Amino acid sequence: MQNILITGSAGFIGYHLTKSLLRDGFKVFGLDNINDYYDPRLKIKRLKDLKDYSRYMGCESNYVFSEINIADDNKLFAFFEKNQINIVINLAAQAGVRYSIENPKAYINSNLVGFANVLEACKRNKVEHLIYASSSSIYGMNSSQPFSVSDNTDFPISLYAATKKSNELLAYSYSHLFDLPCTGLRFFTVYGPYGRPDMAYYKFTKAIDNGDTIDVYNNGNMKRDFTYIDDIIEGIRRIIPKPPSPINSSVTTSRAPYKIYNIGNNNPVTLKRFIKTIENALSKKAKKNFLPMQPGDVPVTYANIDDLKKDFNFQPSTSIEKGIMKFVIWYKKNS
């Protein structure tokens, strides 16, 4: 049985991935610094649910959580020395495009220093496969649709996007120099139960339910490749046991064991339709305040997932209507 480390395991994707792996009997180590970017009580609630779930499944010893900041190299390296880790899934990061304009230092510490520490720990401990979170934000103002991993990503328009692009470059260098198998995943607007309160779908649901006005940027004409969390987890699960080999690298002529994939729904939805779907699920009408595009935002994100389909037979199956309904049911139970 392989030991899997998930950094950011108290986060949205980390929580769902941990639960999925525990369900199938994996030994999962979780790291998180439980910062206050959004209410830490939600992260603590996720952790409690994971502990309760592992106890219910009779595998309590299969989930080991440690409160560690990946930017703290001493604690991170000590953790790796103490525990035999086979696979690392790095989901720990300072998230949010707009917040990166307000607080750039948080992104430098977590997304650059922290990620470099993770790479070094993986190298030192001969980790079999590093999977790490990148983002659709790195495509910037790319006008070609859908976004392809072969598109130019040299012009990020937010610090957050720049740090994610840097992650890809750092991972590639470690893969090339030290034969560290690395798979980068460019996530496209993930949503679902236990999601982040700073995300638009969560804020819209809360505001509409309370009768408050919502800010609708770009007059609701933005398009996003909204991807339900279960589809994301299925994609990651398929990738875990199959690290890239040097001969299947399509993004570079190097023989490094390195691969990047888009992981999204491959079906963009306008913000207007997204809000309408939430209204239908809540049976309430939204009060809208239409605003122009915000700095750091892009008009459309749309994933070309042909490589992921070809290599892993990945095919998202959750419609926006079904996914939003599941989220709203969870929200009503937990608000």
Catalytic residues: 160
Paired residues of 90 in beta bridges? 7, 132
Alpha-carbon span 5 to 122, nearest angstrom: 11
Residue 119: count of CB within 10 angstroms of its CB: 24
The CA-atom distances, in angstroms, between 267 and each of 235, 281, 302 are 16, 20, 7
DSSP codes joined into one string, 265-327: -S--EEHHHHHHHHHHHHT-PPEEEEE-PPTT--SB--B--HHHHHHH-------HHHHHHHH
The residue among 17, 110, 38 whose CA lies nearest residue 70 is 110
User: Burial code of 133-164, b = ≥16 C-beta within 10 A, e = fewer?
Assistant: bbbbbbbbebeeebbebebebeebbbbbbbbb
Check residue 193 and give left, alpha or beta (phi > 0: left; psi -120 to 50: alpha). beta
Q: Is 48 helix (H, G, I), strand (E, B) or coil?
A: helix
Parallel, antiparallel, or unpaired for β 258-263 and 213-217? unpaired
